[in-house]
Chains A and B, each alone.
Chain A
Amino acid sequence: MSAEIRHEFQVIGKPTPKKDAPLKAAGRAEFADDINMAGMLHGKLLRSPHPHARILSIDASRAAALPGVRAVITGKDFPGVRYGNLPRTRDYLPLAIDTVRYIGEEVAAVAAIDEDTAEEALDLVQVEYEVLPAVFDPEEAMKPGAPQLHAPAPGNISAHTESEFGNVEAAFAEAAYIREDMFETHAVKQGMLEPHACVGVWDSFGKATLWSCKMSPYTVWRQLAMGLDMKPGDIRVVQTYVGGGFSGGKQEAMPMDFCALMLSKKTGRPVKFVHTMEEVLTIGHLRHPMKIWLRTGTTKDGRIVAQHCKLLANGGAYSSIGGFSIFLAGAMLNLPYRVPNMRFESNRVYTNNGFCGALRGHTVVQMCFARDSQLELIAADLGIDPLEIRHRNAIQEGDVTANGFRIGTFAFDECIKRVAEMSGWHEKRGKLPKYRGIGFGCGAHLSGARLMGHSASAAEIRMLEDGTVHLTTGSTDVGQGVETVMSMIAAEVLGIEVDDVTYLKVDSAATPLDPGTFGSRVTLFTGNAVKQAAEEVCRQLAEIAGERMGVDPQDLIFRRREIVNHKDEKQRVSLKEIVRWGMFQQGKVISGRGTYGASEEKIDFRTGQGNLSPAYNPTACAVEVEVDPETGRVTMVGLWGADDSGTPLNPLAVKGQVIGAAVMSIGHALWENLIRIDGKVMNPSLRDYKMPQATDLPKLANFEHSNVITWEPEGPFGAKEAGQGAGTGVVAAIANAIHDATGVRLTRLPFTPESILAGIEELKEKEAVTES
Chain B
Amino acid sequence: MTYLRRLPKFEYVGPRTLTEVCSLISGGAPDDAMLLAGGTDAILQMRRRERVPRRVIGLKGVAELDFVREQADGGLSIGAMTTLHSLLSAPAIRQRYAILHETAAQIGGPELRNIATIGGNIAGALPCADLPPALMTLDAQIKLSSHRGERWMPLRDFFPEFGRTVAQDDELLSEIKLPRPAPYSAGTYLKFHDRQSMDMTVVGVGAFVVLDDDGRTVRELRLAYANGAPTVFRAMKAEAVLCGQLFGEKVLDAVAEAACSESSPRTSWRANAGYRLSLIRALTKRAIRRSWQSASSQKGTK
Do A and B bind? yes
A770 within 8 A of B: no
* Chain A residues with CB below 8 A from B286, complex form: 630
Taking a contact as CB atoms under 8 Å apart, the answer to whether B194 and A680 are in contact is: no
Interface residues of B in 268-284 (CB under 8 A from A): 269, 271-272, 275, 278-279, 282-283
Taking a contact as CB atoms under 8 Å apart, the answer to whether A682 and B1 are in contact is: no
Interface size of A in residues (CB-CB distance below 8 Å): 36
Interface residues of B in 140-196 (CB under 8 A from A): 192, 194-196
A675 and B269 CA atoms in complex are apart in Å by 7
Taking a contact as CB atoms under 8 Å apart, the answer to whether A631 and B200 are in contact is: no
Given that A630-B282, A688-B200 are contacting pairs, would A49 and B1 also be in contact in the complex, using a CB cutoff of 8 Å?
A: yes
A260 and B71 CA atoms in complex are apart in Å by 62
A696 within 8 A of B: yes
B301 within 8 A of A: no
> What is the CB-to-nearest-CB distance from B42 to chain A, in angstroms, rounded to a whole number?
16
B96 within 8 A of A: no
Taking a contact as CB atoms under 8 Å apart, the answer to whether B192 and A120 are in contact is: no
> What is the CB-to-nearest-CB distance from A121 to chain B, in angstroms, rounded to a whole number?
11
Taking a contact as CB atoms under 8 Å apart, the answer to whether A631 and B1 are in contact is: no
Taking a contact as CB atoms under 8 Å apart, the answer to whether B197 and A693 are in contact is: yes
A683 and B271 CA atoms in complex are apart in Å by 13
Given that A631-B279, A683-B269 are contacting pairs, would A753 and B194 also be in contact in the complex, using a CB cutoff of 8 Å?
A: yes
| Contact flags A666-703 to B (C-beta < 8 A → 1, else 0) | 00001100010100101100011010110110000000
Taking a contact as CB atoms under 8 Å apart, the answer to whether B198 and A687 are in contact is: yes
From A115, A675, A688, B6 is in contact (CB under 8 Å) with: A115
Interface residues of A in 83-141 (CB under 8 A from B): 103-104, 115-116, 119-120
Taking CB as reference atom, which chain B residue is nearest A692? B195
Taking CB as reference atom, which chain B residue is nearest A670? B194
A677 and B192 CA atoms in complex are apart in Å by 24
Chain B interface residue bracket vs A: 20 to 34
* Chain A residues with CB below 8 A from B4, complex form: 276, 278
Taking CB as reference atom, which chain A residue is nearest B268? A682
Chain B: interface secondary structure?
Answer: loop
Taking a contact as CB atoms under 8 Å apart, the answer to whether B200 and A687 are in contact is: yes
* Chain B residues with CB below 8 A from A682, complex form: 269
A48, A677, A754, most chain B CB atoms within 10 A: A754
Given that A278-B4, A630-B282 are contacting pairs, would A671 and B194 also be in contact in the complex, using a CB cutoff of 8 Å?
A: yes
Taking a contact as CB atoms under 8 Å apart, the answer to whether B196 and A695 are in contact is: yes
A754 and B269 CA atoms in complex are apart in Å by 12
> What is the CB-to-nearest-CB distance from A281 to chain B, in angstroms, rounded to a whole number?
11
Taking a contact as CB atoms under 8 Å apart, the answer to whether B197 and A696 are in contact is: yes
Taking CB as reference atom, which chain B residue is nearest A667? B195
| Contact flags A622-653 to B (C-beta < 8 A → 1, else 0) | 00000000110100000000000000000000
Taking CB as reference atom, which chain A residue is nearest B286? A630
Taking CB as reference atom, which chain A residue is nearest B8? A120
Given that A671-B194, A692-B195, A696-B196 are contacting pairs, would A754 and B3 also be in contact in the complex, using a CB cutoff of 8 Å?
A: no
Taking a contact as CB atoms under 8 Å apart, the answer to whether B197 and A757 are in contact is: no
Given that A49-B1, A104-B1, A630-B282 are contacting pairs, would A116 and B192 also be in contact in the complex, using a CB cutoff of 8 Å?
A: no
Taking CB as reference atom, which chain A residue is nearest B278? A757
* Chain A residues with CB below 8 A from B269, complex form: 675, 677, 682-683
A675 and B270 CA atoms in complex are apart in Å by 9
From B5, B197, B199, B279, A119 is in contact (CB under 8 Å) with: B5
A298 within 8 A of B: no
Given that A115-B6, A630-B286, A631-B282 are contacting pairs, would A693 and B194 also be in contact in the complex, using a CB cutoff of 8 Å?
A: no
* Chain A residues with CB below 8 A from B275, complex form: 753-754, 757-758
* Chain B residues with CB below 8 A from A752, complex form: 194
* Chain B residues with CB below 8 A from A103, complex form: 1
> What is the CB-to-nearest-CB distance from B176 to chain A, in angstroms, rounded to a whole number?
26
A120 and B7 CA atoms in complex are apart in Å by 10
A497 within 8 A of B: no
| Contact flags B1-30 to A (C-beta < 8 A → 1, else 0) | 101111000000000000000000000000
A282 within 8 A of B: yes
* Chain A residues with CB below 8 A from B283, complex form: 630-631
12 residue pairs bridging A and B, Cβ less than 8 Å apart: A103-B1, A119-B6, A279-B3, A630-B278, A630-B282, A687-B199, A690-B194, A690-B195, A696-B195, A752-B194, A754-B272, A757-B275
> Top 3 closest A-B pairs, CB basis?
A630-B282, A696-B196, A695-B197
